[in-house]
Amino acid sequence: MTITERAALLATAAALAFSAGTSAVADTSDKRIALSNNYAGNSWRQAMLRSWEKVTGQAVADGAVAAADAFTTAENQVTEQAAQIQNLILQGYDAIVLNAASPEGLNGAVKEACDAGVTVVSFDGIVTEPCAWRIAVDFQQMGKDEVLYLADRLDGGNLLEIRGLAGVFVDDEISAGIQEGVDETGKFEIVGSVHGNWAQDVAQKAVAGILPSLPDVAAVVTQGGDGYGAAQAFKAAGRDIPIIVMGNRHDELTWWKEQKDASGYETMSVSIAPGVSTLAFWVAQQILDGAEVPKDMTVPFLRIDQDNLEENLANTEEGGVANVEYTLEDAKAVIAEASGS
């Protein structure tokens, strides 16, 4: 989300003033909200958890809610997260904000929560159970946009695809968008695909392993947390650095700026803002507060281009990810937009 888009959301919230259906009608100071997170093994997930702690910690201090505790499973496994959700139900949480290991695999546990009167708001890794709310990014469009960008830059060529965490909804959607872009433009061929798990070290090892078998690569399409690792693998192999789409991580943006300053290297960077967890928190709070909230909401992905690289890098903490953290007013604006108000 750009600064302009954020301002527009706030303006919308102020203009609508949330009368009638979306006004708060109950006090949530005694409500307890839990975050159920399926994975924390990369910089995006760590930034997501830090944003949650920062924003919800203040919300608890301000008396907006009684608690906002975060729980992360040790492995990205449906059975483990389903058990975690069941434990949160037993612990009496009023709402569960959920980054899910599977869109369908957790539906049973989510239905149990709903039947127990627990509000469930999924984000990033969303669930399909009808009783839950969903805050989604159009990940498929995000993947397609990478290829459309490359089509504007190149006459054609071979692509290396670095995927995310196998079996996760986000990975499947971005990859489907990349393939859609390849099919639509008719310019490119995907000559190799590896899983980088959205982590630089994993991506570097995976790319290094496949590079010897690949022909010349014009560009690398990615999912975030893998661009810098890919660059290091190409460098170590003594191969020309192709256009590598980045994923908004500080190390990726830093490397990009170094190459830009040295040789005019051009690329783009795109990812969902880790702070979407804080939007999900405020949406859950609003539901508990009696607001009428649509089951499905969307937020824009955060894209960085050549002309705003320096600005975004300056605002990204070392070791972190370019980010937007949401306020209650932001959440109300997203709700209003989804409601068509």
Q: How many CB atoms lie within 10 A of CB 197?
A: 24
* Encoded amino acid at 330, one letter: D
**What would the pLDDT profile of 84-128 be if each residue is shown by its tens digit?**
999 999 999 999 999 999 999 999 999 999 999 999 999 999 999
SS3 per residue for the chain: CCHHHHHHHHHHHHHHCCCHHHCCCCCCCCCEEEEEECCCCCHHHHHHHHHHHHHHHHHHHCCCCCEEEEEECCCCCHHHHHHHHHHHHHCCCCEEEEECCCCCCCHHHHHHHHHCCCEEEEECCCCCCCCCEEEECCHHHHHHHHHHHHHHHCCCEEEEEEECCCCCHHHHHHHHHHHHHHHHHCCEEEEEEEECCCCHHHHHHHHHHHHHHCCCCCEEECCCCCHHHHHHHHHHCCCCCCEECECCEHHHHHHHHHHHHHHCCCCCEEECCCCHHHHHHHHHHHHHCCCCCCCEEECCCEEECHHHHHHHHHCCCCCCECCCCCCHHHHHHHHHHHHCC
Give the residue range(s) of CATH 3.40.50.2300 domains in the chain. 3-137+273-300+321-339, 139-271
Please answer whether residues 164 and 124 qualify as being in contact, where contact means their C-beta atoms are separated by less than 8 angstroms.
Answer: no
Please answer whether residues 214 and 158 qualify as being in contact, where contact means their C-beta atoms are separated by less than 8 angstroms.
Answer: yes
Confidence band for 76, pLDDT divided at 50, 70 and 90: confident
Report the C-alpha dihedral over residues 163, 167, 173, 177, rounded to 10 degrees: 40
Report the percentage of the chain scoring pLDDT > 70.
92
CATH number 3.40.50.2300 given to 139-271? yes
* Confidence check: pLDDT of 3 > 80: no
67-72 and 95-99: which strand pairing? unpaired
* Confidence check: pLDDT of 213 > 80: yes
Report the alpha-carbon distance of residue 8 to residue 2 in Å, rounded: 10
Report the alpha-carbon distance of residue 54 to residue 70 in Å, rounded: 12
| Spatial CB neighbours of 264, under 8 Å, sequence gap ≥ 6 | none
| Spatial CB neighbours of 75, under 8 Å, sequence gap ≥ 6 | none
Across the chain, what does the average pLDDT equal? 92
**What would the pLDDT profile of 17-44 be if each residue is shown by its tens digit?**
333 333 334 599 999 999 999 989 888 9
Please answer whether residues 338 and 297 qualify as being in contact, where contact means their C-beta atoms are separated by less than 8 angstroms.
Answer: yes
- The per-residue pLDDT for 14 is 39
Q: What is the pTM of this model?
A: 0.83
CATH number corresponding to 3-137+273-300+321-339: 3.40.50.2300
- The per-residue pLDDT for 26 is 59
